[in-house]
Amino acid sequence: MKRVLIIEDDINISELERDYLEANGYGADIEHNGKNGLERSLKEEYNCVIIDIMLPEISGFDICRELRKVKDIPIIIVTAKKEDIDKIRGLGLGADDYIVKPFSPSELVARVTAHINRYERLVSSSQDDNSKDIIELGGLRIEKASRRVFISNKEISLANKEFDLLLFLAQNPNIVFSRDQLFDKIWGYDSIGEPSTVTVHINKLREKIEDDMSKPRYIETVWGAGYRFKEA
């Protein structure tokens, strides 16, 4: 049984989320406090974590940041605000998706299912394909099976979707992909979100792998068309 942790201080909302998840075959646990939610998410094994932004003691943003440092599982943030800055901040901290209150519990279950399924497909694909387990381009080294990335022999930490995006581009060098194409490839056609998510993740990737973001060595912007990974 797939397990989901719900970190939500609103008792009615959290219990409704749990009921819908359990009705769809998931095991679901609830924490109403940010501190307890973070501790539990780090200690126990979950397939997905749903995190409200506004929480007692520790915010959802802080939970997302700390959880992403050590775990690669799908994270969905929940916000009562409609401002883009909250969505962008959450995605920048490593969240895979966001949903705005009020929302349909069925939509939440659909997003959880889509992200868990896609994560498992990507992990399975990385484990099965051993023919090109390591990609090395310049000072960049990508180890597919272990999902580790090194720049000049120094390991860097990437969020789940950041790694998937970098790996896809590196496996298809010198090919220009639009934001819509990258969104479909990495998030999947069954995901619910916006292509602007791609731009957020590209910027976060550049912060981590590029020496000079104004003159990127690896991920190049092709104005009006999209992005490509430079092989040479």
Query: How confident is the model over 114-130, as pLDDT tens digits?
Result: 999 888 877 766 555 54
Average pLDDT over residues 189-218: 82
pLDDT for the residue numbered 133: 79
Q: Tell me which DSSP letter residue 224 carries.
A: T
Amino acid at 188: G
User: How far from each other are the two terminal CA atoms of the chain, in whole angstroms?
Assistant: 45
* Residue 137: strand pairing partners: 140
Structure tokens at 32: 């109403």
* Ranges 44-48, 158-162, 215-219, most confident: 44-48
Average pLDDT over residues 142-167: 90
Of 9, 47, 62, which is closest to residue 31 (Cα–Cα)? 9
Angle of helix 196-209 versus helix 179-186 axis, rounded to 10: 80
pLDDT for the residue numbered 41: 95
- Specify whether the CB–CB gap between 135 and 171 falls below 8 A: yes
Amino acid at 133: D
Angle of helix 60-70 versus helix 84-92 axis, rounded to 10: 20
Query: Model confidence over 189-199: pLDDT tens digits?
Result: 545 556 788 99
Average pLDDT over residues 23-27: 95
Name residues whose C-beta falls within 8 Å of residue 224's C-beta, 6 or more positions apart in sequence: none
Query: Model confidence over 38-85: pLDDT tens digits?
Result: 999 999 999 999 999 999 999 999 999 999 888 888 999 998 866 667
Beta strands, E only, 102-187: 134-137, 140-143, 148-151, 154-156
Tokens 């990385």 sit on residue: 126
Q: What's the order of all strands across the beta sheet hosting 75-79?
A: 27-31, 3-7, 48-52, 75-79, 97-100
pTM of the model: 0.61
26-40, 87-101, 155-169: range with lowest mean pLDDT: 87-101
* Residue 58: strand pairing partners: none
Name residues whose C-beta falls within 8 Å of residue 85's C-beta, 6 or more positions apart in sequence: none
Of 76, 20, 15, 78, which is closest to residue 48 (Cα–Cα)? 76
pLDDT for the residue numbered 189: 52
Query: Model confidence over 81-105: pLDDT tens digits?
Result: 666 677 777 788 888 888 888 889 9
Average pLDDT over residues 194-219: 88
Residue 172 confidence (pLDDT) above 70:
yes
